[in-house]
Amino acid sequence: MLRLGVLASGRGSNFQAIIDAIGSGRLNAKIELLIVDKANAYAVQRANKHSIDHVFINPKDFSSKDDFFIAIRDELQKRGVELVILAGFMRVVQKPFIDAYANRIMNIHPALLPSFPGLHGQRQAVEHGVKISGCTVHFVDEGMDTGPIIIQAAVPVCSEDTEESLAARILLQEHRIYPEAIRLYSEGRLKVEGRKVIISSPTDEGCCIINPLLG
């Protein structure tokens, strides 16, 4: 069974979607640990409800970003975590951590990367006037939301949309594709070749079936 570690900073609804996918048997994995960088992150309450261990690692306790991420890395390795899930973790991860978990850290971003990386992906999409946006699950590299893309889902953007209404529409898709990406990983079906993530058979389903606009 795949051993997961989840990093979150806030609400944790993606964390919850993964808990639910495991609970319903759609995902064969175990969440070994939740790490938060904010003591009051609501994700902690979700962890408590589901008897998942959690640790608060305070960035203020470290003199450098590297040291903070080394502490996170050590905590995850101590628990035998194989795949790290960034679920609304609002920090750019640093090299010592990435090196230890190369192509084994996933992130979800609320836009169709490479458009609108960084903060407020939904607001950027509304302000830019795009007609389609969505969300992206990708492996994490040293850049800001630049790593190889695993799955994307698209949603329409309406002229009346606000940042909030678009975020809500995108979030529904986030909760669908994040557990799906982890499932593909757990089945050994993801292979990174340069910038591309190849999804192996039984059906080469990476590009379309999870995209609601493409049916």
Contacts with ligand GAR by CB under 6 A lie at: 8, 10-14, 87-88, 108-110, 121, 171, 174
Task: Name the residue whose CB lies closest to ligand GAR.
Answer: 88
- 177 vs 202, beta carbon nearer ligand GAR: 177
Neighbours of 215 (CB within 10 A): 6
Query: Which residues partner with 66 through β-bridges?
Result: none
Cis peptide before 202 (omega within 30 of 0): yes
DSSP assignment letter at 198: E
Specify whether 138 is catalytic.
no
- 87 vs 153, beta carbon nearer ligand GAR: 87
- Distance in Å, CB of 180 to ligand GAR, minimum: 15
Backbone angles phi, psi at 55, to 5 degrees: -135, 135
Which is the catalytic residue, given 109, 128, 138, 175? 109
Task: Give the closest residue to 6 by CA, choosing from 46, 36, 26.
Answer: 36
- Distance in Å, CB of 122 to ligand GAR, minimum: 8
- Residues labelled catalytic: 109
